[in-house]
Structure formats: C-alpha cells, structure tokens
Structure 1
C-alpha cells in the first residue's frame, strides 16, 4: 500500500468564496508575530503577543514589516485582514497552502503569494507558502511556521547597512522577495550536484538497484521546484509594468534584477529537467548493456561447449563396431582433441575481441 495522500481540496467543496480554511498540516503551530518599524534614523524590533498589537502600525509614519507565523490561527488572520482592509479572497489564498504563486493588485495594496524553499538536514527540499501584503508604508508577511530565509533582511534593518532604511515599503518587499530567490539558487545548486553525482556513478558503471528510485525522487523534487519558480516570472514582470502608485520608479530596477535571476533559474531548471530524462535513458542503457554482457558471456560459454558436447555425444553412443573405441590411446586422443578445440575457440574469440 502506498502512502495515503490528504485530499486538501475536499475541504473547499461546497464552501462560499472567501471562506478561510487552513489546508496545511501544522495545526499545532503557535501564533508568533514580530515587527520591525524603522526609518533612516533608527528602528524598533518587537515580538507582539496579540494580533491586536499590529493594528497601530497601519498609520505609522515609518516603514513597518509585520511577520505573522501560524496560518492555522484563522481568527487572528481574519482580524488582521479586517483591520487592514484585505479582501476575503485574499485571506482565503493566504491560508490555502496549495495556492499557486500569484500577484493581485488592489487600489490600496499589492498581494503576492510565493513558495519559500529551503533544505532540511538530509538535503530534501522543504516548501512553505509565504504571502505578502504591501501597503503604502507597511509589508505584512504570513508564514505557515517559524523559520524562514529572511535573516539577512533582518540584519540589514538592524545594522542600517545598505539602502533599506532609506527606502519605502516597495523596496522592503523587493528585499524579501530577493531573499527567497537567492535561496532558489541554493536549491538549484543542490539539484545540479545530485544530478552530476548520479551521472558520474552511471559513467563509472556502478549501477545500484536503488538508482532508478533516486532518479525518480530527484525528478519529483525538480518538478516541485519548477512549480515554485516558473510563476515568479509573471509576478515580477507584472510588478515591473505596474502603474500602481505603491511602486516607486527607483525600485523598478531592483525588481528587474530579480527578474533576471528568475529567468536564469528557469533556464537552469529546464536544463536539469533534460538532464534527468537523459539520466533515466542512461540508466536503462547501462542496465541493458550489463544484461548484454551477461548474455554474451553465457553465449560464448555455450558456443565453446557445443563442439565438446558433440564429440562427447559421438563417443557416448553404444555401438560395438566403432573403430576408435578399441584404440589403446583413444581416450587420451579424444581429450587432446577436446582441449585443442577449446583452446582454438578461446583464441579465436579473443582475436575477435568477443572476450
């Protein structure tokens, strides 16, 4: 029996549009909220206890990043969405962890849904959905659980290095998206290394029984990464071409840089995809060649013994008037003939390079 799969979409059947249903598997996740409120002169970092504590940041004169972990806390997300004026369909997409990466533009805010990828201790790809809501002077991020790829952004805000404190919410959104895309490179490099390792093993002829499973698992990982990366091209392209007043023209060039990275990653994924198909073909060819080698050896052995069996069969017949049977050295002569035939055939096969 295979692993039973959870039917996530069954939860939505018969529900009204905009109904919030958490489709993930981390139902015991604690609600964790952190805020970074900053301007060119300083910053404030807080761990908020209640969802109501985020409401005051909407009218803040500084730039605010509010990070909410725990998509299973539906009531808290509904409360935050109501205060910030988010559409119910946006809130539905936030708690739907199967949501395809997308962008929606509204008059007062932009909504982005992306896939954040990172590796576990065994170098397996972990996929987590991250949703962004960018307003005039704030960015809200919604994550399924604690642990993300934004530590570098946090350090830049704390230290004041770079231009992040002097820019607006659109640059903060860029910095967060760029952090996710940078980790795509880590995943891409890991996939490339795994493909090269399998390729080297196949070239060396060290084919294991589990090799086909390794290739299939690698193919599944690649498809998951591909589904996360490819929609990002359209998302960044729409931000570049957006006429929203929330995106400053100075920030467009940074989004173009992210777009270039996404295109490069997409090309890498396409190359890896072709390489994996080639790996499967190479694996099947290697298995076939190994089988052919076995059959060749068995065929040569059988061919060598055919004339020897023929000689033994002739002199195994029970006729009284076979002249050779009464020779004094007949037994030894037959052995000499059989050994000579054996040696002659081995020499012939070696000259033909069949052995």
Structure 2
C-alpha cells in the first residue's frame, strides 16, 4: 500500500493501542467486544475506499461523498453507521484555503479520510493513545477528538487575521488608507464571510451529535460534542468581531480622509479669501482710467499697500483663530 495514502491503522483494545493493521485483503482482523480500529488515509483513490467498503460494509453513497469535494460540513446516517464531513482551513497571505476530513464511524471502526488538509492526525493519535480512559469510550470519543482537532485548527487562522487587522486599526488614525490597505480589508472581509458560512453547518453537525439519538454515539459521550459546539461558537464570535472591526476600520479611514480633505479645503478657501483682497484692489487700479481718485496722490502707492497688508493680516488672524489655517 502507498504510504502517501495509508497513513496509519491500529486496533485498540481496552483503550490501548494493540496490533497495527493495513489494507491487505488477505489478512484477517480479529475484534473482541469493545475493540475498535482507527484507520487514517490521505487523498485515497477509489480502490482503497472500495477495499474498506467491502471489509466494513460502508454505504456506496458515503464512499461517493468521500471521493468528491464538499463545500460545507455535513452529517449523514447510513443504517448503524455515521458519515461526517468536517472542513479544515489554512491562511496563505490574505487567501484562505480549505481542506476536508471525511469520517466513517461504525460500532467497531472509525476511518478518517483527509483531502487538501496540511494538518496530520499523528499528534492527535499520540495524544489520545496516552489517555486510555478516554479511548475505552470507543469510536464516539475518537470522533469528538477529531472534530475538536479540526476546530482547534481554526485558531491560528483567526489569530493571523487578527494581527493584520489590529495593525490596520492602529495606524488608520495617523496614516491614510492606501490602495493596498483597502485591498487587504476587502480581501479579509470576503474570506471571513465565506468562513462564517462554513461555521454555521459545523455548528449544526455538533448540535445534532449532541442532541439527536444517533448510532455509535452513546448518551454518556454527548457532552463531549457540546464542548466542540462551544469551540465553534467561540470561533464564530471572533469571526463576527473581526468583520465588525474591518468594517469600522474602513469607515474610520473614510472619515479621516474626509476630514483631511475638509482641512485642505478650508485652508484653500482661507488663502483664496486673503489673496482676493490685494487682487481686487490691484485690479481696480490696473484699469487705467484717466479720472480715478487718488491717482496723483504722492503717497497713494504706499497707502494702498498698507491697506492691502492690513486687511490681509486681519483676515489671516481671523482664520487662524477659527483654525482654518
């Protein structure tokens, strides 16, 4: 079997890891009551899933769904089996990319199938194997752990966006928003809107696992899925808060730009008013009429200059007082 496809497989007895398993069809697996097998695959081909379908009686529709890409999380029941799809998320620049983890759950097996997800389940498996008390609860406990692991992966994505958003918020009062800043704001708003749409069905999946009578999920384990639901709600709250902050950053940026334009407009208007006085007086005396008053006054030139400077100075002081200059 290609190691890039079959990641790990192991039988668990009394909550502890027993012998490993593989997809060799000629090899028999023996299960006692309370035992279960956990198999993990990455980007499997149809052939590998057909082998598992024959061995565990997986429903053909579930196999078909596991091979195709889903846009939203889902939970389906097929007889005494569950089929769950969870979505993983990662951030590259301002672009969020999504992967998928399909989970088949039966009374004595759980199969995880990862598509496009960079986070492996190796750490999760090791952590669970150090806690046999939980593993004794069976496949539902592992299902909860996988879903919780997927939701925990949203945290670094949200934190990276928060850092960028807080940086924008911190400088918007001092520096005008550039084209790149506006592009970043709208990119994050678009990505967060899409992420929020993905979180809603994740909440529905965890709520159904918590409240409905489903195969393979014992009543004693339902509170674990309440914990998953709480995690998803916290992430959804952070997403909504980030969308509000981005909206306020953009609005504040617009207000600050309008304020800067208003300041410039007031300054231009004030200087235009000041310069209008000497322009008007000089314009009158530049018309070259023969019979104009004070044309032959000896000190008329100086009087006119003093009048211009006095009026301009008074206007300047007035505009300075009202903070137009």
TM exceeding 0.5 = yes
Q: Distance in 2 between matches of 1:258 and 1:277?
A: 29
CA RMSD of superposed structures (Å): 2.8
Q: Distance in 2 between matches of 1:54 and 1:126?
A: 36
1:228 aligns with 198
Deviation at 1:104, TM superposition (A): 0.4
Greater RCO structure (CA 8 Å; 6+ sep) = 2
1:316 aligns with 286
CA separation of 1:281/1:287 partners in 2, compared to 1, >3 Å: closer, same or farther?
Answer: same
Any idea what the Cα deviations from partners look like across 1:53-76, whole Å, max 9, x if unmatched?
3896876443322111115x2343
Poorly superposed stretches of 4+, deviation over 4 Å: 44-48, 54-59
CA separation of 1:145/1:274 partners in 2, compared to 1, >3 Å: closer, same or farther?
Answer: closer
Structure 1 unmatched runs, 5+: 1-28
Is 1:114–2:86 an aligned residue pair?
yes
Is 1:131–2:102 an aligned residue pair?
yes
Task: State the TM-score, normalized to the length of structure 2.
Answer: 0.87
Comparing 299-308 with 274-283, greater Cα deviation is found at: 274-283
CA separation of 1:308/1:95 partners in 2, compared to 1, >3 Å: closer, same or farther?
Answer: farther
CA separation of 1:274/1:144 partners in 2, compared to 1, >3 Å: closer, same or farther?
Answer: same
CA separation of 1:98/1:165 partners in 2, compared to 1, >3 Å: closer, same or farther?
Answer: closer
Q: Distance in 1 between matches of 2:213 and 2:54?
A: 26
Match of 1:155 among 114, 126, 139: 126
Comparing 252-261 with 141-150, greater Cα deviation is found at: 141-150
Is 1:37–2:11 an aligned residue pair?
yes
1:96 aligns with 68
Conserved? CA contact 2:12–2:18, under 8 Å: yes
Q: Distance in 2 between matches of 1:270 and 1:105?
A: 32
Conserved? CA contact 1:113–1:130, under 8 Å: yes
CA separation of 1:286/1:84 partners in 2, compared to 1, >3 Å: closer, same or farther?
Answer: farther
1:16 aligns with none
Deviation at 1:128, TM superposition (A): 0.7
